[in-house]
Structure 1
């Protein structure tokens, strides 16, 4: 373990460069640049709020805040894992030339998306202030669910990046999976409208627990209960352990399939 830590410390400056490169590449030739990380969720919130609040008549107080908080968590998972999936493939030429710990490329994709997550969180605070939603002391606990979703996404990203090197079809299949997963996550709808059998399925989704935890500290002035935290720790640990195992077992064959 100490060898891995020393190796990470050695290449940490490279990680910073990779994160900066990912952000610059994403917003290259964009007039507003990084500002889109705030504007994009706001525009999507406005459109979806108008459609769903009128079409389905959800009885949710401060529905735009409810919707934006759901988007913040789920969109981060979707964006970060999708970007991580192509991390090894996209950096193939560099991997073939010099030795670099290959997991660095996956971590950089997750961390660059984390910067977008913080920008989206800023947008959420602005919306809450504009709608005069009370900000309680529990907001200080928001790092808990955010850390869970970041490291859970890292675990999934490691698995996807390893599989995508050999099976490129997963890049296309994953977009379908993410769309289906969104409907199994209470991003738009309240849990109360679900029949009991469907509610059980939605609760199995690890993102649901993290999202509920995030909404509790942001909107409901509720401290996360021990059960939710323990479940999140277990799910995140399993995702990371599986991700590291799959990546470690596959990384030696990457150069043969890039």
Structure 2
């Protein structure tokens, strides 16, 4: 099957970039620190999580000698949160994406499909900023970095493709079913605690581990920690199968979106 969505996005790449730039800069327009908040926000969250979980609750990562490393727990937790926040930003925005931009729907020549890509690209840029904060924190804590951290973009590629597919699907459904936004909000709150963010997957009893692995974020979080913190190579099976599956999901969702958008104007 010939993939249509890469070509469609490539033809609209200039529009995608301009809208992404407006989305990122518009979030901080008028604020005193401007884009500086994109660095300060993840830094503040990292400090709060470190204090609450590592010092108040005395949480430790794993069961070995490294479990007493407070900094280590904070770094592991923050790596998981970066992945989750990337997914949550896209999924929570998607149901209202078309509804909140009725003017674009009325413009026949406007390619509505780029709005899903803009949402994912914008969230991805914030994820990269948070990753930079994680790198700085690792340098402060350990004065070194694992070279495998360069593989993080490859670890995130299946996630980004999957989020693009989900964003197209939810943004189209959100036009016809207004309750989708409420469902995704509850679902993401549940998913936060059902993902291995605050604990390693290996900490669960063996009988529960296969069930948690059904969560698509679980493997992305584990692979991110492997390459960014533990210095291990990315799983080739995950990278290959995840990327191929993501491409086909994107193509299927893209085609469904193009069919659904014919009825957007009638509903809105």
Do the structures match in fold with TM over 0.5? yes
Q: CA deviation at 1:227?
A: 3.0
Q: Are positions 1:196 and 2:198 aligned together? A: no
Deviation of 1:255 (Å): 1.3
In structure 1, the residue matched to 2:160 is 150
1:54-73 superposed matches below 5 A: 54=55, 55=57, 57-59=59-61, 60=67, 61=69, 62-73=72-83
Say yes or no: does 1:111 pair with 2:121.
Answer: yes
Over residues 41-94 of structure 1, what are the superposed CA-to-partner deviations in whole Å (9 max), with x where a residue is unaligned?
221222222222241532344111111111111101101222233221222212
**Alpha-carbon distance, 1:238 to partner:** 5.2
Q: Is the 8 A contact 1:22 1:112 kept in 2?
A: yes
Match of 2:41 in 1: 40
Aligned with 2:208: secondary structure? helix
Q: Tell me which moved more, 11-20 or 166-175.
A: 11-20
Uncovered stretches (5+) of structure 1, i.e. residues with no partner: none
What is the root-mean-square deviation of aligned Cα atoms in Å? 2.2
- Deviation digits for residues 190-214 of structure 1 (CA, Å, limit 9, x no counterpart): 2232122322221111111111111
Structure 2 unaligned regions, length at least 5: 62-66
Name which of 135, 138, 150 aligns with 1:140. Answer: 150
**Aligned pair partner of 2:91 in 70, 78, 81:** 81
Q: 2:64 is matched with which residue?
A: none
The TM-score normalised by the length of structure 2 is 0.87
Q: Closer, same or farther in 2 for the Cα pair 1:163/1:34, shift >3 Å?
A: same
2:130 is aligned with 1:120: yes
1:205 aligns with 2:207: no
Residue matched to 2:101: 91
Q: Which moved more, 1:200-209 or 1:187-196?
A: 187-196
* Structure 1 residues 44 and 200, CA gap change in structure 2 (3 angstroms): same
User: Which range is displaced more, 76-85 or 56-65?
Assistant: 56-65
Q: TM-score, normalised by structure 1?
A: 0.90
Distance 1:90 1:237, change over 3 A: same
Counterpart position of 2:237: 227
Residues 4 and 251 in structure 2, CA contact (< 8 A), matched pair in contact too: no
Does the C-alpha gap of structure 1 residues 238 and 194 become closer, same or farther in structure 2, counting only changes over 3 Å?
farther
